[in-house]
């Protein structure tokens, strides 16, 4: 069987085994197809059945989370932890609280996380978890009770050397605080079991900024390869959460002009770019008050486009920086962006572009920075938070930022180098997938059959 047939066969088997897991099928198709060049050149991966093994999570935990709201009504949600691969370190990946959460989405995120974590160069395996709980519109006390109920089961499966969760959509500093408090109370140990913690109790400086800053550093390297930089570039950013906020901040700092932000209710135009005052209002509205972006648009007299995506409100754009959620750029959006003159797309969110959109960008010569490379800064600083916890000390913001910058430059270089080595120069998606894969696959072979 040749490499292409082998890969197609595995993709079909995954689809047959878990029908209906469309997000998981999408990532399996993207990643495995891009690995064909390395499977072809290195027979050891087929011989050791690495693709069969790597597509099967090591462990999946599903549990009931019962909690009581402020009116003493009882609610039941479903909790998950997908412990996907521990070949190069403890499972590591975020927790997502969002009504759309299901096993398919968490398997897709956990699978991506394996390669992303490998790319950072730090010893972290891949995992992901969360719940279909929706923190929107809940009081702080309700969120706390939910987090305590969630942790009352999760605690037995995690630990600083086993599995170290972090935040993701719907899980920010507040939730990490409640989750950490609950864990500490149950196990009676103060240990680095979660990342994204507040600085006062073991967090790392620059962790909140890390994904947005890191993706912007990655973007800068992409632009450098074309002899240009961010100065004066029009950047359409989607989302207004953690990633979008700090991407917008760093892009502006480096001379780019942020022309959109959005949330799940619509998109906001920023014809004159972002300034400190608007940024602060976005941060306070979204990160502190958990409110709606429309309030910021109204406060500053900016045009609000209800129900629209960021890509639908721009006529002329240099860079698209999707930072909201999966599949937010489909083929139509990709066509619209190319017509509007986009030269680069950098994925702040996980899998924001559909497979068709990615192909369209590549066919049209658009520089494409894939999520698992571009947004690895968050988990990289989470890794640095784990190191600081083990050392029982905390580095300065400058030290962490410098390490983050170096890691992002290295990820860019590894992606570009592997793309070239396997005959796809300039295709950072193929390069990142192969670079991330080789380290994990070789480690699996070293460790025997499990």
- Name the minimum Å distance from CB 442 to ligand NDP: 25
- C-beta of 96 vs 144, nearer to ligand NDP: 96
**CB contact set of 377 (below 8 Å; sequence gap of 6+):** 210, 211, 212, 213, 214, 215, 217, 218, 404, 407, 408
- Name the minimum Å distance from CB 334 to ligand NDP: 17
85 binds ligand NDP (CB under 6 A): no
Exactly one of 86, 118, 240, 388 binds ligand NDP (CB under 6 A); that residue is: 240
Strand partners, 376: none
Exactly one of 95, 297, 349, 384 binds ligand NDP (CB under 6 A); that residue is: 349
- Name the minimum Å distance from CB 37 to ligand NDP: 26
- Name the minimum Å distance from CB 281 to ligand NDP: 14
- C-beta of 311 vs 360, nearer to ligand NDP: 311
Number of residues that bind ligand NDP (CB under 6 A): 22
Residue 128 designated active-site: yes
Residue span binding ligand NDP (CB under 6 A) among the ranges 59-67, 162-170, 336-344, 432-440 = 162-170
Exactly one of 350, 389, 427, 433 binds ligand NDP (CB under 6 A); that residue is: 350
- C-beta of 12 vs 140, nearer to ligand NDP: 140
Residues within window 181-220 making contact with ligand NDP, judged by CB under 6 A:
211
Tokens of 313: 């409100």
131 binds ligand NDP (CB under 6 A): no
- Name the minimum Å distance from CB 178 to ligand NDP: 16
Residue span binding ligand NDP (CB under 6 A) among the ranges 7-15, 139-147, 346-354, 361-369 = 346-354
- C-beta of 83 vs 168, nearer to ligand NDP: 168
Task: Decide: residue 52, CB within 10 A, 0-12 exposed, 13-18 middle, 19+ buried.
Answer: middle
228 binds ligand NDP (CB under 6 A): no
SS3 for the chain, per residue? CCHHHHHHHHHHHHHHHCCCCHHHHHHHHHHHHHCHHHHHHCHHHHHCCHHHHHCCCCEEEEEEEEEECCCCCEEEEEEEEEEEECCCCCEEEEEEECCCCCHHHHHHHHHHHHHHHHHCCCCCCEEEEEECCCCCCCCHHHHHHHHHHHHHHHHHHCECCCEEEECECCECHHHHHHHHHHHHHHHCCCCCCCCCCCHHHCCCCCHHHHHHHHHHHHHHHHHHCCCCCCCCCEEEECCCCHHHHHHHHHHHHCCCEEEEEEECCEEEECCCCCCHHHHHHHHHHHHHCCCCHHHHHHHHCCCEEECCCHHHHCCCCCEEECCCCCCCECHHHHHHHHHCCCCEEECCCCCCECHHHHHHHHHCCCEEECHHHHCCHHHHHHHHHHHHHHHCCCCCHHHHHHHHHHHHHHHHHHHHHHHHHCCCCCCHHHHHHHHHHHHHHHHHHHCCCC
Residue span binding ligand NDP (CB under 6 A) among the ranges 143-151, 179-187, 347-355, 397-405 = 347-355
- C-beta of 209 vs 318, nearer to ligand NDP: 209
- Name the minimum Å distance from CB 47 to ligand NDP: 34
Exactly one of 126, 127, 241, 383 binds ligand NDP (CB under 6 A); that residue is: 241
260 binds ligand NDP (CB under 6 A): no
State which residue has the least CB distance to ligand NDP: 241
Is 45:39 a contact under the CB 8 Å cutoff?
yes
Exactly one of 17, 22, 226, 265 binds ligand NDP (CB under 6 A); that residue is: 265
- Name the minimum Å distance from CB 296 to ligand NDP: 11
> Which of the following is catalytic: 107, 128, 233, 286?
128
Exactly one of 125, 126, 239, 256 binds ligand NDP (CB under 6 A); that residue is: 239
- Name the minimum Å distance from CB 209 to ligand NDP: 10
- Name the minimum Å distance from CB 370 to ligand NDP: 12
Task: Decide: residue 13, CB within 10 A, 0-12 exposed, 13-18 middle, 19+ buried.
Answer: middle
23 binds ligand NDP (CB under 6 A): no
CA distances from 131 to 46, 56, 85, 164, 185 (A): 35, 21, 20, 16, 21
Residue span binding ligand NDP (CB under 6 A) among the ranges 68-76, 143-151, 156-164, 317-325 = 317-325
93 binds ligand NDP (CB under 6 A): no
Residues forming contacts to ligand NDP in the complex (CB under 6 A) are: 167-170, 211, 239-244, 263-265, 323-325, 348-350, 375, 378
Give catalytic residue positions: 128
């Amino acid at each position: 069987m040749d490499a292409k047939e082998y890969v197609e066969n595995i993709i079909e088997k995954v689809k047959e085994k878990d029908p209906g897991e469309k997000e998981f099928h999408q990532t399996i198709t993207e990643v495995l197809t891009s690995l064909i060049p390395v499977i072809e050149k290195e027979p050891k991966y087929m011989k050791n059945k690495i693709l069969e093994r790597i597509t099967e999570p090591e462990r999946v935990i599903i549990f009931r989370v019962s909690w009581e709201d402020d009116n003493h009504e009882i609610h039941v949600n479903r909790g998950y932890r997908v412990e996907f691969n521990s070949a190069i370190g403890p499972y590591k990946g975020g927790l997502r609280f969002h009504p759309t959460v299901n096993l398919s989405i968490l398997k897709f995120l956990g699978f991506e996380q394996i390669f992303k974590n490998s790319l950072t160069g730090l010893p972290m395996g891949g995992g992901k978890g969360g719940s279909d709980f929706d923190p929107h519109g809940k009081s702080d006390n309700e969120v706390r009770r939910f987090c305590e109920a969630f942790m009352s089961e999760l605690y037995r499966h995690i630990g600083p050397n086993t599995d170290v969760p972090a935040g993701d959509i719907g899980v920010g500093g507040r939730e990490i605080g409640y989750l950490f408090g609950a864990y500490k109370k149950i196990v009676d140990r103060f240990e680095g079991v979660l990342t994204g913690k507040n600085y006062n109790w073991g967090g790392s400086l620059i962790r909140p900024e890390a994904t947005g800053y890191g993706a912007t550093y990655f973007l800068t390297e992409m632009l450098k390869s074309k002899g240009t930089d961010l100065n004066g570039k029009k950047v359409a950013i989607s989302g207004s959460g953690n990633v979008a906020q700090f991407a917008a901040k760093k892009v502006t700092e480096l001379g780019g002009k942020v022309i959109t932000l959005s949330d799940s209710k619509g998109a906001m135009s920023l014809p004159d770019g972002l300034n400190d005052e608007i940024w602060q209002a976005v941060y306070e509205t979204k990160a502190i008050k958990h409110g709606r972006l429309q309030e910021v648009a109204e406060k500053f007299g900016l045009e609000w486009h209800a129900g629209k995506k960021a890509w639908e409100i721009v006529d002329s754009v240099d860079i698209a920086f999707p930072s909201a959620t999966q599949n937010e750029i489909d083929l139509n959006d990709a066509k619209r962006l190319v017509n509007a003159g986009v030269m680069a797309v950098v994925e702040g969110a996980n899998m924001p572009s559909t497979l068709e959109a990615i192909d369209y960008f590549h066919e049209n010569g658009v520089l494409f920075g894939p999520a698992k490379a571009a947004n690895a800064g968050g988990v990289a600083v989470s890794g640095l938070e784990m190191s600081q916890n083990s050392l029982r000390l905390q580095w300065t913001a400058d030290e962490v930022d410098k390490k983050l910058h170096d890691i992002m430059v290295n990820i860019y270089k590894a992606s570009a180098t592997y793309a070239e080595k396997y005959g796809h120069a300039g295709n950072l998606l193929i390069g990142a997938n192969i670079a991330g894969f080789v380290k994990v696959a070789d480690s699996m072979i070293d460790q025997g059959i499990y």
